[in-house]
């Protein structure tokens, strides 16, 4: 049988690494787009690097995207690349818009020009719901983004819908709620907390400075969520889906569970630092994954407490290994 071929932008990121693993396990040939940098950052894909074809391209450069698709002719393209850190989107709003919004158009145009039969996945976000109009959020909840990142994702979402309707592309958008793992970037709150717990447990730090402890998120496990991405592209008809656990927890609860996993009392270590507060906050996110369950047959395996414990365990191993 001829191997199916998929191209992933953002393959060096958290989700890209899990999706690449999943597709390799299904027998796909996987093309990973990597952007040029002065040092290699292949940590998350080092264990599978020899099984991937890595190609240089950038969401800021349409010609490079056309070349990647023309040279490798994938049947599925997953657009996971983005400036994905919400806080940075206030200090770099134009870069965020160029990458996270217009980058989607560049990639869709590259597909339209080279081969409109290619199936396309767009990494949309629950940040689009922002100041939420209803609880829980579904595929028809109106958008009210609260950051330049959220605004850029709304653009990326609608341009995906528009290319589907204008050109008949098999383009789907996954409105994914927060998903985490031991591979999460250190600046996101879950990993910041679990890595902070590990450093405190090992005696390297005593305090962990955080921002808004009241905000609530619907946190799931990244390896579960990439399965939903793949399932979307296996459907006969493209569509948009909320992918979430249906449960929400505050940053304060996250601290309780994470410090508790290392037998520490979070109240003795967590301090609030105004530098981590945001100009506009998304107070509460909780998604309704009914459509993903009923149409895709998707369900999550890992719940909140297990996810946080898994991340604490991984960070304890990491910090202890670094200490030697
Ligand atoms: P991540 O770890 O921050 O990875 C982002 C990826 O994008 C990295 O591989 C990065 O490359 C790449 N990238 C950034 N700018 C680029 C450019 N100009 N050209 C090409 N590649 C570029 O993000 P993630 O958590 O895996 O998330 C994957 C996608 O899902 C993102 O679009 C994110 O916005 C979206 N999303 C994430 C969540 C979540 O909770 N994780 C929820 C909803 C939606 P470098 O390694 O070179 O920096
Ligand atoms: O972990 P966060 O930075 O994730 P955020 O802003 O929800 O965005 C993530 O999820 C989105 C999906 O909803 C993705 F689209 C996006 O790419 C990214 O992956 O912050 C979560 C919450 C916020 O309310 C933030 O204000 O935690 C609060 N928080 C409190 N203290 C903090 C901190 N966040 C960070 N990063 N650092 C803190 O010290």
Domains detected in the chain: 5-179+220-243 (3.40.50.720), 185-217+247-283+301-323 (3.90.25.10)
pLDDT at 1 over 70: no
How confident is the model over 181-199, as a mean pLDDT?
Answer: 99
Is 149 a catalytic site residue? yes
Residue 3 is predicted with a pLDDT of 79
For tokens 């990647």, what's the residue? 68
Is there an atom of ligand 2 within 6 Å of 222 CB?
Answer: no
Residues 141-182: pLDDT tens digits? 999 999 999 999 999 999 999 999 999 999 999 999 999 999
Catalytic residue status for 125: yes
58 lines ligand 1 (CB under 6 A): yes
Mean pLDDT in residue range 282-300: 98
Calculate the average pLDDT of the chain. 98
Average pLDDT rounded to a whole number, residues 46-68: 98
What does the pLDDT average to over 109-127? 98
- Distance, in Å, from the CA atom of 309 to the CA atom of 123, rounded to the nearest integer, reads 26
Nearest ligand by distance to the CA of 281: 2
Collapse the DSSP code of 181 into the 3-class scheme (helix H, G, I; strand E, B; otherwise coil) and give the result: coil
193 lines ligand 2 (CB under 6 A): no
**Residue 189 CB–ligand 2 contact under 6 Å:** yes
Q: Is the CB of 192 under 6 A from ligand 2?
A: yes
Mean pLDDT of 180-199: 99
Average pLDDT over residues 256-260: 98
- The one catalytic residue among 17, 84, 89, 125: 125
Q: Whose CA is nearest to atom 39 of ligand 2?
A: 210
Instruction: Provide the pLDDT for residue 206.
Output: 98
CA of 81 from ligand 1 middle (Å) equals 4
Compute, in angstroms, the gap from residue 188 CA to the centroid of ligand 2: 6
Is a pLDDT exceeding 70 seen at residue 218?
Answer: yes
Q: Which residue matches tokens 């922002």?
A: 130
**Ligand 1 pocket residue status of 45, Cβ below 6 Å:** no
- Percentage of the chain lying above the pLDDT 70 cut: 99
82 alpha carbon to ligand 2 midpoint, in Å?
Answer: 15
Q: Is the pLDDT of residue 19 over 90?
A: yes
What is the mean predicted confidence (pLDDT) over 15-39?
98
Give CA separation, 96 vs 56, 77, 79, 187, 190, in Å. 20, 21, 15, 17, 22
- Contact between residue 62 and residue 109 where contact means Cβ atoms under 8 Å apart: yes
Whole-number pLDDT of residue 187: 98
Q: State the Cα–Cα distance between residues 124 and 156, nearest whole angstrom.
A: 7
For range 251-267, the mean pLDDT = 98
Q: What span, in angstroms and rounded, lies between the C-alpha atoms of 257 and 282?
A: 22
160 closest CA partner among 115, 101, 113 = 101
Confidence of residue 38 (pLDDT cuts 50, 70, 90): very high
**Residue 96 pLDDT level (bands cut at 50, 70, 90):** very high
Distance 68 CA to ligand 2 centre (A): 32
Residue 37 banded pLDDT, cuts 50, 70, 90: very high
Question: How many whole angstroms from 199 Cα to the centroid of ligand 1?
Answer: 26
Pocket test for ligand 1, best of 15, 159, 175 (most atoms within 8 A of CB): 15
To the query of whether residue 78 is one of the catalytic residues in this protein, the response is no
């Amino acid at each position: 049988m001829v191997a199916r071929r998929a191209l992933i932008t953002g393959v060096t990121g958290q989700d890209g690494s899990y999706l690449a693993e999943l597709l390799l396990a299904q027998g796909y040939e996987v093309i990973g787009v990597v952007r040029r940098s002065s040092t290699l950052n292949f940590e998350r894909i080092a264990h599978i690097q020899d099984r991937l074809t890595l190609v240089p391209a950038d969401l800021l450069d349409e010609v490079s995207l056309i070349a990647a698709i023309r040279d490798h002719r994938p049947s599925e393209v997953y657009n996971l690349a983005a400036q994905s850190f919400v806080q940075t989107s206030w200090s770099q709003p134009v870069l965020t818009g160029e990458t996270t919004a217009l980058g989607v158009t560049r990639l869709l145009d590259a597909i339209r020009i080279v081969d409109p039969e290619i199936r396309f996945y767009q990494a949309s976000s629950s940040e689009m719901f922002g100041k939420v109009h209803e609880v829980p959020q579904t595929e028809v909840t109106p958008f009210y983004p609260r950051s330049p990142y959220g605004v850029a994702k709304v653009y990326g979402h609608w341009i995906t819908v528009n290319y589907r309707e204008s050109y008949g592309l098999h383009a789907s958008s996954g409105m994914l709620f927060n998903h985490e793992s031991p591979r999460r970037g250190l600046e996101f709150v879950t990993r910041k907390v679990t890595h902070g717990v590990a450093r405190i447990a090992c005696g390297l730090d005593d305090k962990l400075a955080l921002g808004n402890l009241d905000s609530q998120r619907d946190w799931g496990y990244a390896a579960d969520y990439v399965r939903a991405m793949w399932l979307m592209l296996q459907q006969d008809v493209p569509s948009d889906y909320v992918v979430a656990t249906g449960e929400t927890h505050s940053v304060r609860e996250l601290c309780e569970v994470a410090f508790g996993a290392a037998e520490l009392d979070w109240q003795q270590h967590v301090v609030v630092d105004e530098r981590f507060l945001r100009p506009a906050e998304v107070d509460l996110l909780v998604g309704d994954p009914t459509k993903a369950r009923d149409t895709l047959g998707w369900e999550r395996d890992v719940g909140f407490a297990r996810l946080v414990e898994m991340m604490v365990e991984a960070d304890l191993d990491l910090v202890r290994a670094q200490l030697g």
